[in-house]
Amino acid sequence: MIDPAAPALVVMSASGAGKSRFGAALAQALGARFLDADELHPEGNLRKMASGMPLDDSDRAPWLDAVATWIAARQAAGEGGVVACSALRRRYRDRLRGGSRGLGFVYLAVPRQELARRMHTRSHFMPPALLDSQLATLEPPTTDEDACTLDGTRALAANITRVEAWLPTRRATKG
C-alpha cells in the first residue's frame, strides 16, 4: 500500500477552485511540504495567460515536468508533498505520475458560476476571461485514477477530514 503518512498529492481543478488555499491547509494538516505549481510557470506562460491567451500543450510540458521533478524530489527525500496544480487533462496527470510512486489527486469540483465569482474577487495573473477555456480543457478524474473528488464549496476542515479518511484506503499503485 501507499504510505498515508507521507503522501504525494496534487490538488487539481480549474482556476478559482481554491487549489492553493486548500492545498496549503491540507499540507499543514498532513505535515507535508506545499508547492503552488504556479510558482514554476515560466515567465512566458505567465505573460501569455495574463494577456488572455490560454496555454497549449507545448507551453504546459516544461511546467508539468518541473512539477513532476519537485514531487519526485520530495519522494526521494522520504517526505510528503502537496501540490496545487490545475492538472486539467488525464494526459497531464499521467505526465505528473510518470516520475512518481503512488501520486494521488484531490479534485476540487466547483460549479462554473462559483469559479467565476471567485475569479472576479481576486488579484491573479489568470484573468476570468480564461475560465471557459479551462473548463473546456478539464477532464475530471475517472474511476481508474487514484483520486478523491471533493465539493470545493464545502468548508476546508470538512474536506481535509475527507482526504484524511481517503488516504489509508488508496489502492497500491505502481510508479
Instruction: Report the C-alpha gap between 18 and 11 in whole angstroms.
Output: 9
pLDDT averaged over every residue in the chain: 85
- What percentage of the chain has pLDDT greater than the value 70? 87
Joined grid coordinates for residue 64: 508539468
Binned at pLDDT 50, 70 and 90, residue 175 comes out as very low
168 burial via Cβ count (<10 Å: 0-12, 13-18, 19+)? exposed
Candidates 134, 47, 39; CA nearest to 89 is 134
Backbone angles phi, psi at 106, to 5 degrees: -120, 115
**pLDDT given at position 48:** 83
Instruction: Delineate the domains of the chain, giving CATH numbers in brackets.
Output: 8-169 (3.40.50.300)
pLDDT tens column, 94-141: 999 987 878 999 999 998 888 778 766 655 555 555 667 778 888 999
Residue in the structure block whose three cell numbers are 494526459? 91
Q: How far is CA 139 from CA 14, 19, 87, 102, 136, in A?
A: 10, 16, 9, 20, 8
Using alpha carbons only, give the angle 152, 147, 99 rounded to the nearest 5 degrees: 120
> When comparing pLDDT for 145 and 99, which is higher?
145
pLDDT tens column, 62-101: 999 999 999 999 988 888 899 999 999 999 999 999 878 7
Instruction: Report the C-alpha gap between 136 and 100 in whole angstroms.
Output: 27
